Amino acid sequence: MAVLHHSLDFILSSPGTILSVVSGLSVLNANNVLKKVHLSRGYEFIGIHFMFALLRVHSHGVVTIDLQCYQEDSIAEVDNLLNALEKKLKTLLNGNIKRIKRLPALIRGAEVDRYWPTSDGRLMEYDIDKVVYDEDSAYQKIQILHSKQYGNILVLNGDINLAESDLAYTKAIMGSGKENYAGKEVLILGGGDGGILAEVKQKPKMITMLESLHIDQKVIDGCKTHRKTCGHTPMDNLTVGTALILVEDCVPVLKKYAQEGRTFDYVINDLTAVPISTEPEDSMWEFLRLILDLSIKVLHPSGKYFTQGNGVNMTDALTLYEEQLGKLSCPVGFSKEVVCVPSYLELWVFYTIWKK
Amino acid sequence: MAVLHHSLDFILSSPGTILSVVSGLSVLNANNVLKKVHLSRGYEFIGIHFMFALLRVHSHGVVTIDLQCYQEDSIAEVDNLLNALEKKLKTLLNGNIKRIKRLPALIRGAEVDRYWPTSDGRLMEYDIDKVVYDEDSAYQKIQILHSKQYGNILVLNGDINLAESDLAYTKAIMGSGKENYAGKEVLILGGGDGGILAEVKQKPKMITMLESLHIDQKVIDGCKTHRKTCGHTPMDNLTVGTALILVEDCVPVLKKYAQEGRTFDYVINDLTAVPISTEPEDSMWEFLRLILDLSIKVLHPSGKYFTQGNGVNMTDALTLYEEQLGKLSCPVGFSKEVVCVPSYLELWVFYTIWKK
C-alpha cells in the first residue's frame, strides 16, 4: 500500500504580508483542522486530520502544503480537502498570489517503483505497471519493467537501459541508416539485449558480438524471454548465419585481435554510457579509455566506431570524453548527433569516431 | 528562494517488525535529532534540526523521511544528514529492507516552474531555466519557457504545446513525409506558431491558415519573437507567396467554405488535442465535433484530414474520439500513428481521416 504525497504551493507576489497570512490561518487552528506548532525557521501547522497534513508559511513568501494519505483512502475525500485548502488560502491571500502549483501526488513505497531520474537527476514518473523480471546477478541488479507506452524496459542498476520502443537508439548506434553493412566485418561490444543484431538489414560478412561477462548471461536470459525486440534474433544460438556471439569479457578478446592485427569495418560499442563522474582518473573512465583505445586499434583505417555518449545536459562528462579522444594511441576524428530515444525522457548524444 | 523537498523511503520485506523500528528510533529521539510525536495513523518523528524533517513509520512496512530545506542551504550539509539517516536506518532495519528509494528533491515555490505533467497526470521535471515570455491574453495564459535541451517551449494554459525540438510533431501532423503538397489546396486550422508553414517543402497551389482568435495574436507575437522554428516563415506578412493567413475564428470561415462548396486536398487541424474529459457532451467535445464535421465537409473526396489526438495512455478519450468519427454527417475512415514528440515526454497519437 503506497503512501500518496500531495503538495499544493502558493507563491506570493509580496512576501511582506506573510504575518497576516499566519494570523489568518489561526482560523484553521481554531477549527482543529491544522494545529500551529513551532518547529524551525518558518511557521508550521500540522494536521490532526485522518491524514498527515503540513502547512508551512515560509517567511520569504511561499506557502507549502503537504498531505500524506494512503492509496486505499478515498480520492474524493483527499481532493475535497485539497480543494477546500486551496479555496481558503485563495481567500486569505487574495490579490497576493503570483502562482499556485498542485503537483501530481508522489507515489511512495509502492510495490512497483515508477520514478527513474534522467542522467542530470531530474525526477521522471514512468507509467510502469509491472515488474516482469527482477534478478541480482553477481555483477549487477537486472530489472525488466513493463511500461504501458514503452513496452518492456531493461533497467540495470537503476539506470534505464533500453525499452522495446527505442528503435531510435539502435538506429543511432548503427550510424542512423547511412551505413551499408553488406559484406562488412562488424564487431559489437555489448549488445546483450539483441537489438542491434535484429536491426542489421544487409548481410555482413561476419558480426562478432562480445557480450562481456559484466553484462551477463542473466541479462541475455531476461531479454530473450521478456523483450519483443530480441524475439527472433540469433540470440538463441551462439552461431547463426553470419553472427558469432561470444559471452566473454571483451578486453582480452580485443587485445588478442589487436595482437593478431585483425581489423573491423565497424565497431559498435554498446557497453556503457560515458561515466557521469567528472574525475577522469575514476576507474569507470579508465575502463572506458582502455576499451576505446583497443577498439580504435582493431578499427580498419577506413572504418567507423559508433558509441553512445550520455544525456545532452551532461556537458561536463561529454567534454571530458571528447578530451579523452585526443589522448588515444591513434589520432582520431569524431562527430556527434543528438537523438530522441523515447523511453529516456531526455535527448541523448551519440558519437561516430574514425582514424585520422 | 525555492524550498527543496527531499525524500528517502524504505520499503520493508516484513512489516511485522515495525514496532522494533519505532523503539529503535528512540535513539534519534534521545539525541534530539528527531522528536517523537503522535499525529495520525502511523508513528511520527518531527525534526527540530535547522531544516524541517519528518520521519514516519507506516504500520504496513514503509518508512518515509521528508526533509525540507532552502536552495541557499549547504547541499553538503543536507546530503550528510540524508546519508546519516540512511545509514542509521540501514543498521536498524538490517536484513529487513526490500528497497531504498531516494528521489531527486522536489523544487517548490521556485521563480521558474519546472514541473509540467503528462496528459495522464504523471510528474515530469523539465530542464527549464528561464521564462522567456509570460502574458495573459483575453483567452488564455501564454508562456514561452526555455529548456536547455528542447529550446523554447510554448505553453498554453499550463499545457506543453510545442518546443523548438519538436519537428516530429509537425512532420506527423503533415502526414509523416508521405504526402506531396505540390500544386495542392491546403487548409491549416490553427498553426499559429508557424511550424507547419515552415515545413511545407513542395509549393502548394495555396495554403490557407485560419488562426482562430482563441489562439490569439499574442501567441503569434510571442512565437515570432522567441521561437526559431518560425523565424523566417510567412508569419511576418498576411500574404506571402502561396500562403494566406487569416487571423479569424475558423468556424464561420469553414461554414462559408462549406456553403460555397469549396474543397481542399489537405485539411490540417492543429487547433487542440482531443479533450481529456470522457463526457462526450462536454463543450470541448461539442467544439471538436463541430470543427471536425465542417472540416470533412470542405475536404475533397480524395483529400486527407490530419490531426493530433492525445497522449497514447489517454485510451478512454481516444476511444471516445473514434466513436465521434462514426457520427459525422459524411462517413469517414481513419488510421492512427503513435509518434515520439521529444518535449512531450510521452508518446502521442496522430490521426489521418478520409471520406469513405
CATH code of the domain in which B91 resides: 3.30.160.110
A178/A317 same-domain check: yes
Please give the average per-residue pLDDT across B86-101, as a whole number.
Answer: 88
Q: Hey, is the C-beta of A97 within 8 angstroms of any chain B C-beta?
A: no
pLDDT for res A283 = 81
Return the residue matching grid coordinates 511561499.
A62
Same-domain status, B74 and B145: no
- For strand B185-190 and strand B206-210, is the pairing parallel, antiparallel, or unpaired? parallel
- For the segment A59-82, what is each residue's pLDDT rounded down to a tens digit? 888 999 998 888 888 888 888 888
Rounded-to-integer distance, Cα B97 and Cα B13, Å: 6
Grid coordinates belonging to B36: 517523537
Give pLDDT tens digits for A254-311: 999 999 999 999 999 998 666 766 777 778 888 888 999 999 999 999 999 999 999 9
Q: Is residue B265 over pLDDT 50?
A: yes
Residue A28's pLDDT band, with cuts at 50, 70 and 90, is low
User: Residues A87, A153: one domain?
Assistant: no
Coil/strand/helix, residue A242:
coil
pLDDT of residue A5: 96
* Residue B341 clears pLDDT 90, i.e. is over it: yes
Looking at the complex, does the CB of residue B39 fall below 8 Å from at least one CB of chain A? yes
| Same domain flag for A119 and A179 | no
pLDDT class for B43, splitting at 50, 70, 90?
low
Return mean pLDDT, chain B: 85
Higher pLDDT, A250 or B104: B104
In the sheet where B62-70 sits, what is the strand order? B34-37, B43-47, B52-58, B62-70, B3-12, B97-108
Q: Using a CB–CB cutoff of 8 Å, tell me whether A109 touches chain B.
A: yes
| A174 and A73 in a common domain | no
**Which residues of B are catalytic, by number?**
270
Residue B26's pLDDT band (cuts 50, 70, 90) = low
Is residue A312 a contact partner of residue A295, using CB atoms and an 8 Å limit?
A: no
Q: What integer pLDDT is reported at residue A212 of this predicted model?
A: 64
For residue B132, pLDDT over 60 is answered with yes
Together in a domain, A155 and A304: no
The tally of domains found in chain B comes to 3
Judged against a pLDDT cut of 50, whether residue B136 lies above it is answered with yes
Q: Are B133 and B144 in contact (CB under 8 A)?
A: yes
**pTM for the predicted model, two decimal places:** 0.90
At A167 the pLDDT is: 94
- Is the same domain home to A226 and A152? no
Q: What is the pLDDT of residue B305?
A: 97
B122 and B98 belong to one structural domain: no
Torsion from C-alpha of A277, A279, A282, A286, nearest 10 degrees: 100
Together in a domain, A175 and A104: no
* CATH number reported for the structural domain that contains residue B156 in this entry: 2.30.140.10
Q: What is the pLDDT of residue A228?
A: 60
Give the closest of B50, B60, B127 to A120, CB-based: B127
In tens, the pLDDT along B278-292 reads: 777 778 888 888 999
pLDDT at residue B235, as a whole number: 45
Residue bearing the bigger pLDDT, B75 or A242: B75
Write down the pLDDT at residue A183: 92
Q: CB-based contact (8 Å) between A64 and chain B?
A: yes
Residues B127 and B264 in one domain: no
Stronger pLDDT, B219 or B103, i.e. the higher one: B103
Work out the percent of chain A whose per-residue pLDDT is above 90: 48
Strand partners, A306: A268, A352
Residues 243-302 of A with CB under 8 A from B: none
Strand partners, A43: A57
Find the CATH number of the domain harbouring B317.
3.40.50.150
Nearest residue on chain A to B10, alpha-carbon basis: A109
Q: What angle do CA A153, B341, A162 make, to 5 degrees?
A: 15
Query: Measured between CB atoms, does A346 come within 8 Å of chain B?
Result: yes
**Which pLDDT value is given to residue A235?**
45
User: Is the CB of B3 less than 8 angstroms away from the CB of A64?
Assistant: yes
Examine the residue annotation and report whether A270 is marked as an active-site residue of this protein: yes
Give the model's pLDDT for residue A37: 57
| pLDDT above 60 for A184 | yes
Interatomic CA distance for residues A116 and A159, integer angstroms? 7
Q: Are residues B134 and B266 in the same domain?
A: no
Provide mean pLDDT across the span A116-133: 96
Mean pLDDT of A231-235: 42
Beta strands at B264-270 and B299-311: parallel, antiparallel or unpaired:
parallel
Residue A47 has pLDDT above 90, yes or no: no
Count of CB atoms within 10 A of residue A324's CB? Answer: 15
Q: What is the pLDDT of residue A175?
A: 95
Best CA proximity match to B21, nearest among B53, B45, B54, B5:
B45
Per mean pLDDT, which range of A22-36, A165-179, B70-84 is the poorest? Answer: A22-36
Residue A130's pLDDT band (boundaries 50, 70, 90)?
Answer: very high
Per-residue pLDDT for A236 more than 70? Answer: no
State whether B135 and B201 are in the same domain.
no
Beta bridge mates, B299: B264
Measured between CB atoms, which of A49, A150, A312 is closest to B149?
A: A312
For the stretch B174-190, pLDDT in tens is: 999 999 999 999 999 98
Last residue in a domain, options A161, A178, A194: A161
User: For residue B147, what is the nearest residue in chain A, using CA coordinates?
Assistant: A313
A191 has a pLDDT exceeding 50: yes
Most confident of A92-101, A307-316, B245-254: A307-316
List A residues 163-202 in contact with B (Cβ-Cβ < 8 A): 165, 168
Residue of A12, A52, A150, A349 to mutate, testing the B interface (most B Cβ within 10 Å of its Cβ): A52
Residue from the list A62, A104, A109 with its beta carbon closest to the beta carbon of B3: A62
Among positive and negative, which fits the CA dihedral B22, B23, B27, B30? positive
pLDDT score, position A1: 84
Rounded Cα distance, A4 and A1, in Å: 9
The answer to whether residue B231 scores a pLDDT higher than 80 is: no
Segment A192-232, tens digit of pLDDT: 777 888 888 888 999 998 876 545 677 777 777 776 654 34
| Range(s) of the domain holding residue B270 | 166-355
Confidence of residue A44 (pLDDT cuts 50, 70, 90): low
Averaged pLDDT of chain A: 85
Contacts of B120 in chain A (CB under 8 A): 127
CA angle (A179, A182, A185) in 5-degree steps: 90
Query: Residue B91 class from Cβ within 10 Å (0-12 exposed, 13-18 middle, 19+ buried)?
Result: exposed
Sorting pLDDT into bands at 50, 70 and 90, what band is B221? confident
Look at residue A39 and tell me whether its pLDDT is greater than 60: no
User: If you write DSSP's letter for every residue of B129-158 in order, what string do you get?
Assistant: EEEEEEEE-SS-EEEEEEETTTEEEEEETT
* B44-93 per-position pLDDT tens digit: 666 655 577 888 888 888 999 998 888 888 888 888 888 988 988 898 88
Mean pLDDT of B247-254: 84
Instruction: Report the pLDDT value the prediction gives residue A238, as an integer from 0 to 100.
Output: 44
CB B53 within 8 A of CB B66: yes
The beta-carbon neighbor of B109 closest among A62, A149, A346 is A62
pLDDT bin (cut points 50, 70, 90) of residue A93 is: confident
Q: Is the pLDDT of residue B232 over 50?
A: no
Structure confidence by residue, pLDDT tens digits, B268-326: 999 866 676 677 777 888 888 899 999 999 999 999 999 999 999 999 999 999 999 99
